[in-house]
């Protein structure tokens, strides 16, 4: 169960680490947002007699029946509270390679989810709608962690995208069963990259499964290489976001690590085409010993991949070298620019009900936890706070009786994350920088003679083109 110390850890992380580092990495639109005040214009509330149908993001495609049931129950409760609103959920997985097509093609639901890094550009492109007036209708509108809220704030000072869920730091996920089968102690996961290498080899040799796996597709290769770079003290963009710095020592060391595992130790299995969804699937199926991803991925592993909780373990990624840090990010809720006023008014009610109210209202937190537990859905997966420290601490106490995730198998993460420095994703042309790094990761994993220096030099050219283009 979650100890007070762990609770404090999360609140500290949210307030200090995110605050310190995320604020330092403002987006390409500059740091003027803080100077602007949000508009005081009140948005129209929804007339209770007006019927509205609202399309919203549902679960990941392929989610279990139990997860679907829990969501259906939630929708029913929402519609009981708001009889004039009909909610239609749509399966959805955000992918860098399909999001733009969905957006341009109009196939996204009215309320959809985006990563922190995309909000500023979508606001500048007028592709998501100003929600400030509607946000003001919520009693906790002023209580958001300002450093998270600024990601969804436009040049005019108004909030367009609202921090909603999956506020994460990247962790090392490991399969406790494979650790045991390989003669390793699952309660003592690796604490350095060298130990990860040794353990990966032991797992591969003794179980025949991949000891360590790495994502490489649809931008996730670049995302995770950036994680590995930060963990070794490197950065992929200069502080002002104007220069690609992919040839730094941290990135080179991260790639050399992968090269050693793949070609010297042969401890990474045979599949090098993983993206976020498929690596989760393989991990839950027991084919992977260790991989890195957001700390909150356990929820998806249960909802979509039916993981056996007993096999799951979460620990810190090793941090080595000066200025090393853990990459952090999160998900925001946004509303389509094509939404009508009624849809916007209904959308804020859904965003409140589905994502946020539980963090600020005891009754809602308990009710939500009960709904999730009734359908055997995870309650209590570690996350970082969207609101204030005190609020998050309260929320933890409200849901404590319902927590059903194996927190005792995550203590080596939850007890240390507060000591770590959290670093934001690259601020400018984020997905392009990741896309430029994808082939580098793929080359190192699939070509024995891959020249890391040359690959990074070529990737820098591409990333710089994208950065120049975005500036």
Residue 313's Cα: distance from chain center in Å?
Answer: 18
Residue with tokens 């392009």: 432
Please say whether the beta carbons of 325 and 404 come within 8 A: no
Q: Are strands 210-212 and 288-294 parallel, antiparallel or unpaired?
A: parallel
> Least distance to other proteins from the beta carbon of 363, Å?
37
Per rule CB under 8 A, is residue 216 in the interface with other proteins? yes
β-strand 326-335 against 162-175: which pairing, if any? antiparallel
Within residues 320-339, the interface with other proteins by CB under 8 A covers 337
Identify the three-state secondary structure at position 228. Answer: helix
CA distances from 416 to 1, 196, 360 (A): 16, 18, 26
414, 382 contact by CB (below 8 A): yes
Which one of 119-127, 151-159, 309-317, 386-394 is the stretch in contact with other proteins (CB under 8 A)?
119-127
Q: Distance between CA atoms of 35 and 56, rounded to whole angstroms?
A: 33
- Residue from the set 197, 235, 252, 287 that interacts with other proteins by CB under 8 A: 287
The yes or no reply on residue 104 touching other proteins (CB under 8 A) is yes
- 158 in contact with other proteins (CB under 8 A): no
Give the Cα separation of 372 and 124 in Å (integer).
37
Least CB distance to other proteins at residue 450 (A):
8
Task: Please report, as residue ranges, which positions from 432 to 451 form the binding site for other proteins (by CB under 8 A).
Answer: 432, 435, 438-440, 442-443, 445-447, 450
What is the distance between the alpha carbons of residues 195 and 185, in angstroms, rounded to a whole number?
Answer: 12
Shortest separation between residue 291's beta carbon and other proteins, angstroms: 16
Judged by CB under 8 A, the residue of 3, 273, 363, 397 near other proteins is 273
Q: Are the beta carbons of 217 and 225 closer than 8 angstroms?
A: no
Shortest distance in whole angstroms from residue 284 CB to other proteins: 16
What is the per-residue binding string for other proteins in 84-103, x denoting contact by CB under 8 A?
----------xxxxxxxx--
159/140 Cα distance (integer angstroms):
14
Number of residues forming the site for other proteins (CB under 8 A): 46
Where does this chain touch other proteins (CB under 8 A) — which range of 66-74, 115-123, 288-296, 359-367?
115-123
By C-beta, is 71 or 463 nearer to other proteins?
463
Q: Minimal distance in Å, beta carbon 451 to other proteins?
A: 12
* 277 counts as binding other proteins under rule CB under 8 A: no
Q: Is residue 356 within 8 Å of 140, Cβ to Cβ? A: yes
Tell me the closest approach of the beta carbon of residue 115 to other proteins, in angstroms.
Answer: 8
Residues 280, 175: contact at Cβ < 8 Å? no
Span of 121-129, 164-172, 372-380, 414-422 interacting with other proteins by CB under 8 A = 121-129
Q: Shortest distance, CB of residue 21 to other proteins, whole angstroms?
A: 22
Q: Which residues pair with 172 in a beta bridge?
A: 292, 315
Shortest Cβ distance from residue 242 to other proteins (Å)?
18
Here's the x/- map for other proteins, 225-254, by CB under 8 A: it reads as ------------------------------
User: Interacting stretch for other proteins, rule CB under 8 A, among 32-40, 41-49, 211-219, 369-377?
Assistant: 211-219
175: left (phi over 0), alpha (psi -120 to 50) or beta: beta
Closer of 63 and 214 to other proteins (Cβ): 214
For residue 352, what is the DSSP state? I
Query: How far, in Å, CA of 407 to CA of 412, rounded?
Result: 10
Residue-wise DSSP of 255-314? HHHHHIIIIII--S-S-----HHHHHHHHHTT-EEEEEEETTHHHHHHHTT---GGGEEE
Angle between helices 220-231 and 430-446 (to 10 degrees): 90
If binding is defined by CB under 8 A, does position 122 make contact with other proteins? Answer: yes
Indicate the residue among 13 and 463 with the shorter CB distance to other proteins.
Answer: 463
Q: Please tell me whether residue 126 binds other proteins under the rule CB under 8 A.
A: yes
**C-beta of 115 vs 328, nearer to other proteins:** 115
> Which residue is associated with the tokens 């537990």?
373
| CA angle in degrees (0–180, nearest 5) for 248-252-257 | 150
Q: Between 421 and 465, whose beta carbon lies closer to other proteins?
A: 465
Give the span between the Cα atoms of 328 and 330, in whole angstroms: 7
Segment near other proteins (CB under 8 A), from 10-18, 251-259, 368-376, 459-467?
Answer: 459-467
Applying CB under 8 A, which residues contact other proteins? 94-101, 104-105, 114-115, 118, 121-122, 125-127, 216-219, 269-273, 287, 337, 431-432, 435, 438-440, 442-443, 445-447, 450, 458, 461-462, 465, 469
């Amino acid at each position: 169960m979650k100890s007070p110390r762990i609770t404090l850890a999360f609140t500290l992380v949210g307030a200090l680490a995110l605050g310190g580092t995320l604020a330092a990495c403002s987006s390409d639109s500059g740091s003027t947002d803080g100077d602007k005040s949000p508009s005081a214009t009140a948005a129209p509330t929804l007339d209770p007699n007006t019927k509205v149908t609202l399309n919203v993001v549902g679960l990941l495609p392929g989610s279990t029946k139990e997860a679907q049931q829990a969501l259906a129950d939630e929708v029913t409760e929402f519609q009981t509270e708001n009889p004039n609103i009909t909610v239609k959920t749509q399966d959805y997985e955000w992918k860098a390679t399909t999001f733009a097509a969905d957006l341009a093609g109009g196939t996204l639901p009215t309320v959809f989810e985006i990563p922190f890094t995309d909000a500023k550009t979508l606001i500048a492109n007028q592709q998501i709608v100003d929600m400030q007036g509607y946000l003001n209708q919520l009693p906790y509108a002023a209580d958001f962690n300002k450093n998270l809220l600024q990601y969804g704030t436009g040049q005019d000072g108004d909030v367009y995208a609202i921090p909603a869920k999956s506020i994460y730091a990247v962790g090392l996920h490991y399969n406790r069963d494979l650790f045991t089968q390989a003669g390793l102690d699952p309660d003592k996961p690796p604490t350095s990259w060298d130990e990860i290498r040794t353990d990966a080899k032991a797992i591969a040799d003794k179980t025949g499964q991949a000891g360590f796996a790495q994502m490489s597709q649809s931008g996730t290769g670049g995302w995770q290489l950036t994680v590995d770079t930060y963990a070794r003290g490197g950065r992929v963009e200069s502080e002002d976001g104007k220069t690609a710095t992919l040839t730094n020592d941290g990135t080179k060391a991260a790639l050399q690590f992968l090269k050693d595992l793949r070609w010297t130790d042969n401890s990474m299995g045979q599949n090098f085409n993983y993206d976020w969804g498929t690596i989760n699937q393989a991990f839950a199926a027991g084919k992977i010993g260790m991989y890195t991803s957001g700390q909150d991925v356990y929820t998806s592993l249960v909802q979509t991949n039916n993981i056996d909780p007993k096999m799951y373990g979460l620990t810190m990624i090793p941090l080595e070298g000066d200025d090393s840090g853990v990459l952090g990010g999160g998900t925001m809720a946004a509303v389509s620019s094509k939404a009508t006023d009624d849809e916007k008014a209904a959308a804020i009610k859904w965003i409140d009900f589905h994502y946020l109210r539980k963090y600020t209202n005891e009754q809602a937190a308990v009710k939500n936890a009960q709904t999730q537990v009734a359908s055997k859905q995870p309650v209590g997966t570690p996350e970082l706070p969207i609101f204030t420290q005190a609020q998050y601490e309260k929320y933890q106490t409200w849901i404590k009786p319902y927590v059903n995730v194996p927190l005792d198998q995550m203590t080596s993460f939850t007890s240390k994350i507060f000591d770590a420095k959290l670093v934001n994703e690259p601020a400018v042309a984020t997905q392009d920088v990741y896309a430029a790094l994808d082939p580098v990761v793929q080359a190192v994993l699939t070509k024995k003679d891959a020249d890391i220096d040359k690959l990074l030099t070529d990737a820098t050219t591409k990333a710089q083109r994208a950065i120049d283009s975005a500036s």
